[in-house]
Amino acid sequence: MATTAAPYGARPVGTLSASGSFTGKTRNLPIITTYGTQISNGDFVKVAADGTIAKDTGTTALTAVGIFLGCSYTDPTTKQKTFSNFWPASNAATDAMAYVLDDPFVVFQMQSDEALNTTDRGLNASVVVTAGNTTFGKSKNALDGSTPATTNTLPLRIIDFVDGPKSLPPKGTTASDTYPDVIVKFNAASSGSASNHSYLNATGV
């Protein structure tokens, strides 16, 4: 399962908030006409200065409002309402709305771009940002496996390894398989640093 590099961005699996479920925590947020970057399913997105959303390309820090799950818009050519797994770059639709999972306590799965150790559980890590798949619209972002540290500004907190045959470190060892799947969350604000989810920042975006 984790012997091949096949990153898929952020895949929601739960939440640490009181409800225990991320169901119903998706918000419709606007995408500006002709926004020039593809936003893929599983990408982190942020609120831009004009109030619309944009792909969050941060690696060592994020200002994310959540995880992009897809969008809807009226196709400017066919004039038909379209539901898409991703936002096609430079789409001229004037009514585009993104579906964003904006729960700041969402728990999600990501693939690491290299092996980890059991000692990395509980540490913070950076993001590897890559352009998404243009056929299926899936994100190719990954957790940066070279970065786990106690640094409080790093955007992701590693909670656990995915309980699968190839992600957990083999019994009696500390090293995981080549590209382990891990469970992570947005790293919250600590004294003197900003949260990596915009809803938890005292300063507006």
Closest to 140 measured CA to CA, from 1, 35, 11: 11
Residue 18 confidence (pLDDT): 72
With a cut of 80, say whether residue 6 has pLDDT above it. yes
With a cut of 90, say whether residue 169 has pLDDT above it. no
Residue 192 confidence (pLDDT): 55
Could you give the CA distance from residue 86 to residue 133 in angstroms, rounded to a whole number?
A: 9
Residue 178 confidence (pLDDT): 85
Task: Note the pLDDT tens digit of each residue in 126-154.
Answer: 999 999 999 999 999 999 999 999 999 99
Residue 85 confidence (pLDDT): 96
Q: Please indicate whether residue 168 or residue 192 has the higher confidence score (pLDDT).
A: 168
Closest to 57 measured CA to CA, from 141, 134, 135: 141
Task: Note the pLDDT tens digit of each residue in 22-75.
Answer: 777 899 999 999 999 999 999 999 999 999 999 999 999 999 999 999 999 999
**DSSP label of 169:** P
Could you give the CA distance from residue 160 to residue 62 in angstroms, rounded to a whole number?
A: 21
Rounded (5°) CA angle 111-43-85 = 110
Q: Please indicate whether residue 30 or residue 177 has the higher confidence score (pLDDT).
A: 30
Could you give the CA distance from residue 47 to residue 31 in angstroms, rounded to a whole number?
A: 10
pTM listed for this prediction: 0.91
Q: What residues contact residue 5 under an 8 Å CB cut-off, 6+ apart?
A: 111, 113, 142, 178, 179
Could you give the CA distance from residue 72 to residue 93 in angstroms, rounded to a whole number?
A: 10
Q: Please indicate whether residue 114 or residue 189 has the higher confidence score (pLDDT).
A: 114
Q: Please indicate whether residue 19 or residue 97 has the higher confidence score (pLDDT).
A: 97
For residue 39, the SS3 value is: strand
Residue 44 confidence (pLDDT): 98
Task: Note the pLDDT tens digit of each residue in 83-131.
Answer: 999 999 999 999 999 999 999 999 999 999 999 988 899 999 999 999 9
DSSP string, 58-78: -SS---EEEEEEEEEEE-TTT
